[in-house]
Amino acid sequence: MQINLLSNQNSLLHQFIAELRDIEVQKDRMRFRKNIERIGQLMAYEVSKVLAWEEQSIQTPLGRHQSKVLAEQPVLATILRAGLSMHQGVLDCFDKADCAFISAYRKHHDNHTFDIVVEYLACPVIQDRIVLLIDPMLATGQSIELTYQALLKRGNPKQLHILSLIASKAGVSYLQEKLPQATLWIADMDDSLNEDGYIIPGLGDAGDLSYGEKL
């Protein structure tokens, strides 16, 4: 697995991540969603650098120009609901992409354990296509693995790129074992998980902070 940790280089990404983590800035729900969207745009830009490009003859008002365009559009596969703001940011850049949406959530038990439940899948055919799997928080890695297994019902992609805002080292190790063929793009990475499987220090529940607490 190729791992791209974008926080290794200084950029505006650091500012947006700092605001996402800040408990005071989090009180502004719209600002929280906007920062996730901005990071999605920056990550899409980074991913675009490794995709295939081709030349196309473009007519300008004064002549023709051989311009580079994407050789093919990716499929943006986003885990609901926390991924919606990030999805919009990525879609702003890959604005002709096909989209897939998958519901995956934790069903918690009393002993600090949980199961990942995948209930909904709306997805085009992804056979031999480039798939960008979008999930803001890479905690244990189980949601991403099970989501990918659900996507395989629509075909086997030729490339898999996983995009996450914040990952845990344990989650990255898990995906290295389970999805070695993927390329992983992470805005930032934290060291540990707590007993409930949440990233520490992380930023809290991205879905709740974006859209309100769920039942």
Q: Which domain holds residue 197?
A: 2-52+70-205
Check: CB of residue 39 under 8 Å from CB of residue 13: yes
Asked whether residue 65 is assigned to any structural domain, the reply reads: no
**Residue 63 forms part of a structural domain:** no
For residue 214, tell me if it sits in a domain: no
Query: For the ranges 15-29, 82-96, 113-127, 174-188, which has the lowest average pLDDT?
Result: 113-127
Q: Tally the domains of the chain.
A: 1
Q: Is residue 60 part of a domain?
A: no
The predicted-structure confidence for 81-112, as pLDDT tens digits, reads as follows: 889 999 999 999 999 999 999 987 666 666 65
What pLDDT, in 10s, does the model give residues 146-203?
899 999 999 999 999 999 999 999 999 999 999 999 999 999 999 999 988 889 999 9
Which phi and psi angles does 37 have, rounded to 5°?
A: -60, -45
Q: Could you tell me if residue 175 is inside a domain? A: yes
pLDDT, tens digit, for every residue of 48-70? 999 999 999 999 999 999 999 99
Is residue 122 assigned to a domain?
yes
Q: Is residue 108 part of a domain?
A: yes
CATH of the domain at 95: 3.40.50.2020
